Amino acid sequence: MKKIVLSFVFALVSMFTFAQTTWSVDPMHSSVNFNIKHMGISFVQGRFDKFEGSVVTPGANLDRAQFNFSVNTQSINTGVEMRDKHLKSADFFDAEKFPEMKFEGVSVVVGKNKSYTLKGKLTIKDVTKDISIPVTFGGVAKNQQGKEIAGVQAKFTVNRLDYNIKYDPTGAGIAKDVEVNAYFELVKQ
C-alpha cells in the first residue's frame, strides 16, 4: 500500500512540475508601439526597438499565467533623431538613469472570446502603479522550426504625468495620454 501511495504522489508531483510552461518573447515577430497626440491636431507614432519578456503558464492557456516584460528606454524610435534624443533626456524618460520600463503581471481575469484582462504593476522611471491591460490571446500554432508559438496583443492607455514624465504638464503641445500597442509572439521554451 505504501508503494502505491508513493507512486501516486510521485505521479502527481511530476504532472504539476511538467504542466508549467515558459514562453519567451520572439523579438523578430513582436513590437512595442506608441501613439501620442501632438499640438491637439496630429499624432506622433513611435516604437521601442529593444524589449524582452516571458509568460509562465501553469496550463494550456493564460489562466493564472505570470507575465514579465521590460522595455529598453534607450531604444525609443520615432524616426526623428533629434526628437528621440529629447525623449531619452530627463524631460521624458531620463533613459540614462532609468534604462528600462517594466511590467509585472500579478493576475489574469478571463473574459469572452479569447480576451483577458491582465492586472499588474507598471514601472516607468521611479514610479510603480497598478494597471489593468486588456489582452487578446491569438492562440497557439507551430512555427517553421516546429516550435509552439502563441500570439498576444495588448492595447492600453497610460497617462504619462502619472509616471513623472512632466514635460509640458498642460498637455497642450504633447498630450497627457499615450496609447500603447504591444504585439507579442511567444515561443514555448
* Of 80, 99, 92, 95, residue with least CA distance to 167: 92
- Note the CATH number of domain 20-188: 2.40.128.110
* pLDDT tens readout for residues 36-69: 999 999 999 999 999 999 999 887 666 678 899 9
Whole-model pTM above 0.75? yes
The three-class DSSP label of residue 147 is coil
* Of 153, 188, 180, residue with least CA distance to 55: 188
Which of 15 and 102 is assigned the larger pLDDT? 102
